């Protein structure tokens, strides 16, 4: 527990941020807004999403069945014996067209089947890096072949993944008991070792450029191809995978919740605009989250830097920064003046392309402090009329708790101000509208610090209110909120994709490619 000095601390509560939907209608819950009004900038006519599906024949069939279900309504299951009758955090799925104004035709998918035996053989390659790369190639080659030989347009590729990929194609995967076999890399290695002159020349090959992680490698490979939606077979067909006792192999969310999340991803990744936007955000505001990820290899202090930009419209752009010796400590990263200038120029240039003017406020969210060199570069690179504000957002792990009377923990949106520049902010907590707190333990707050400002520092309450809003624009699901603002929520994921040797995407790319 944190020991505070003997003085009164100001406690504020921020109302739940509103989201805007069709007809400029607002509500705090994305499911309510989609059900009542439809997505923001909804098309006048239903738009069919042209989907490409890659998976085993069984996996493709599972998704066809799910696509048919998405066209219909899916009710939440009846409550169990220990559950409330009015489970407000659950919502019936009304149907894809009714909620999102889009449709799927499950009989006209572009479908490419993969042989499960071929997948199984690839996952048994002795070198895990090579095994994962070969499995990713099975999926990516189908997409590349389609682009070369088929004129049918595809808006989004659905990659249906069998459990053997999920179990075997990730770092430190346990493949004990499998009959592992030599792949091409091990065969080349053996051939080299048999030749005296080449015995010591066993240099690392590009197979080691990427971490042995299927999800990260697929996202990196598809940066130059298309947005993707990865779906596990056990998620969309849990009853097809049961243990000896007759229970599903893994516990999944209820079908209605899965439908909401899957439909949100389908819409976001296939349509020009996101399904909802933040309401009432100040004009001219731009938020960027700095991303740092250590590069693979022996150069310990080198890492990749990137920036995620988000506007009041909600949609994001990822800017690939320069690789360099940015790591100064375990959790301490600082850009050179040149790299910092280049990153801000990319962000401001994109904002101007979209809005025809410079941003009035540019908030830089990071998980570390800014040193003099990089901050001076941020200020200098930004237009004279743009106020640059640096904010540090750090998760906590139990050093500070806040309790309240009643059956539920602290209200979401509660903030405890320590001074005029730092505060604890509870982005998780009890939500009156849902009459519940969705979490396993007493929630931990974020620790927010207003670090620097080019001009006048905005009120701390303004910074906290903005962060609350940014917890509601995760378009990879249809949740009421996230615990982290989107500027830092996906920082690790984006960084992991960018540090892949196969990540050949553009320097400026839509955020939807990364999630």
Question: pLDDT tens, 108-119?
Answer: 999 999 999 999
Residue 60 lies in a domain: no
Query: CA angle 495-501-502, nearest 5°?
Result: 100
Residue 466 sits in the same domain as residue 380: yes
- pLDDT of 5 > 80? The answer is no
Residue 164 lies in a domain: yes
Identify the domain boundary among 215, 241, 270: 270
Q: Give residue 253's pLDDT.
A: 93
**What's the whole-model pTM score?**
0.92
Residue 298 sits in the same domain as residue 338: yes
pLDDT level of residue 301 (50, 70, 90 thresholds): confident
- pLDDT of 200 > 70? The answer is no
Residue 136 lies in a domain: yes
Identify the domain boundary among 211, 245, 270: 270
Residue 263 sits in the same domain as residue 285: no
Residue 486 lies in a domain: yes
Residue 177 sits in the same domain as residue 259: yes
Residue 357 sits in the same domain as residue 504: yes
413-461 pLDDT per residue, tens = 999 999 999 999 999 999 999 988 888 888 999 999 999 999 999 999 9
CA terminus-to-terminus distance, the chain: 36
Least confident interval from 64-78, 173-187, 434-448, 474-488 = 173-187
Residue 183 sits in the same domain as residue 122: yes
332-373 pLDDT per residue, tens = 888 999 999 999 999 999 999 999 999 999 999 998 899 999
- Find the mean pLDDT for residues 231-246: 94
Residue 105 lies in a domain: no
Q: What tokens appear for 142 in the block?
A: 């189908």
pLDDT level of residue 202 (50, 70, 90 thresholds): very low
- pLDDT of 87 > 90? The answer is no
pLDDT level of residue 186 (50, 70, 90 thresholds): low
DSSP 216-263: HHHHHHGGGT--EEEEEHHHH-GGGSB-TTSSBSS----HHHHHHHHH
Q: Give residue 199's pLDDT.
A: 44
Residue 445 lies in a domain: no
- Find the mean pLDDT for residues 272-290: 93
- Cα 231 from Cα 161, distance rounded (Å): 6
Closest CA to 336 of 374, 308, 367, 295: 374
More confident residue, 37 or 203: 37
Q: Give residue 208's pLDDT.
A: 67
Residue 3 lies in a domain: no
Residue 114 sits in the same domain as residue 249: yes
Domain residue limits at 187: 110-270
Residue 295 lies in a domain: yes
- Find the mean pLDDT for residues 284-312: 83
pLDDT level of residue 6 (50, 70, 90 thresholds): low
Mean of the per-residue pLDDT values of the chain: 90
89-142 pLDDT per residue, tens = 899 999 999 999 999 999 999 999 999 999 999 999 999 999 999 999 999 999
Residue 255 sits in the same domain as residue 384: no
With residues binned 3-state (H G I as helix, E B as strand, rest as coil), the percentages for the chain, rounded to 5, are: 35, 20, 45
pLDDT level of residue 17 (50, 70, 90 thresholds): very high
Closest CA to 446 of 462, 434, 431, 429: 429
Identify the domain boundary among 209, 242, 270: 270
Torsion of CA 42, 71, 60, 39, to 10 degrees: 20
Residue 120 sits in the same domain as residue 237: yes
Q: Give residue 320's pLDDT.
A: 87
The separation between CA 94 and the C-alpha centre of its own chain, rounded to angstroms, equals: 25
- Cα 25 from Cα 41, distance rounded (Å): 11
Q: What tokens appear for 111 in the block?
A: 């479908």
Query: What is the domain count for the chain?
Result: 2
pLDDT level of residue 379 (50, 70, 90 thresholds): very high
- pLDDT of 198 > 50? The answer is no
Residue 254 sits in the same domain as residue 289: no
- pLDDT of 184 > 90? The answer is no
Residue 162 sits in the same domain as residue 204: yes
Q: Give residue 478's pLDDT.
A: 96
pLDDT level of residue 486 (50, 70, 90 thresholds): very high
Residue 390 sits in the same domain as residue 507: yes
Can you give the CATH number for the domain in which 294 is found? 3.30.420.10
- pLDDT of 197 > 60? The answer is no
């Amino acid at each position: 527990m944190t020991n505070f000095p003997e003085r009164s601390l100001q406690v504020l509560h921020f109302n739940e941020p509103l989201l805007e939907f069709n007809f400029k209608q607002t509500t705090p819950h994305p499911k309510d807004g989609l059900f009542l009004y439809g997505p923001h900038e909804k098309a006048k006519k239903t738009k069919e999403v042209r989907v490409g599906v890659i998976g085993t024949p069984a996996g493709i069939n599972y998704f066809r069945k799910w696509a048919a279900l998405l066209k219909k309504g899916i009710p939440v299951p009846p409550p169990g014996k220990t559950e409330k009758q009015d489970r407000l955090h659950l919502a019936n799925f009304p149907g894809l067209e009714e909620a999102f104004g889009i449709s799927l035709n499950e009989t006209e998918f572009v479908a490419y089947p993969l042989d499960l035996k071929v997948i199984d053989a690839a996952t048994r390659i002795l070198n895990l890096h090579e095994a994962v790369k070969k499995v990713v190639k099975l999926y990516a080659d189908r997409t590349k072949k389609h682009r070369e030989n088929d004129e049918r347009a595809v808006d989004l590729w659905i990659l249906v993944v069998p459990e053997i990929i999920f179990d075997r194609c990730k770092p430190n995967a346990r493949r004990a008991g499998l009959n592992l076999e030599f792949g091409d890399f091990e065969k080349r290695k053996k051939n080299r070792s048999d030749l005296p002159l080449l015995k010591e020349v066993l240099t690392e090959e590009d197979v080691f450029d990427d971490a042995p992680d299927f999800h990260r490698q697929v996202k990196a490979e598809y940066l130059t191809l298309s947005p993707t939606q990865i779906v596990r077979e056990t998620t969309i067909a849990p009853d097809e995978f049961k243990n000896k006792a007759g229970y599903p192999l893994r516990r999944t969310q209820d079908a209605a919740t899965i439908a909401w999340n899957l439909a949100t991803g389908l819409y976001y990744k296939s349509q020009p605009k996101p399904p909802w936007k933040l309401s009432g955000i100040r004009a001219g505001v731009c938020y960027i989250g700095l991303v740092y990820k250590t590069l693979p290899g022996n150069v310990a202090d080198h890492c990749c830097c990137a920036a995620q930009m988000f506007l009041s419209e909600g949609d994001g752009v990822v800017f690939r920064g320069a690789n360099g010796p940015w790591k100064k400590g375990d959790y301490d990263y600082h850009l050179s003046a040149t790299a910092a200038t280049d990153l801000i120029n990319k962000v401001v240039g994109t904002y101007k392309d979209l809005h025809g003017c410079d941003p009035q406020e540019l908030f830089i969210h990071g998980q570390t402090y800014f040193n003099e060199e990089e901050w001076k570069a941020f200020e200098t690179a930004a237009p004279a009329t743009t106020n640059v504000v640096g904010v540090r957002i750090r998760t906590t792990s139990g050093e500070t708790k806040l309790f309240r009377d009643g059956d539920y923990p602290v209200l979401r949106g509660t903030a405890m101000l320590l001074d005029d520049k730092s505060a604890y902010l509870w982005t998780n907590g009890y939500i009156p509208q849902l009459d519940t707190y969705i979490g396993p333990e007493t929630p931990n707050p974020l620790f927010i610090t207003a670090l620097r400002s080019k001009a006048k520092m905005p009120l701390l309450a303004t910074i906290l209110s903005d962060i609350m809003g940014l917890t509601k624009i995760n378009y990879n699901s249809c949740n009421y909120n996230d615990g982290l603002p989107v500027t830092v929520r996906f920082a690790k994921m984006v960084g992991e994709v960018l540090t892949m040797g196969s990540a050949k995407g553009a320097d400026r790319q839509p955020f939807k490619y990364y999630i």
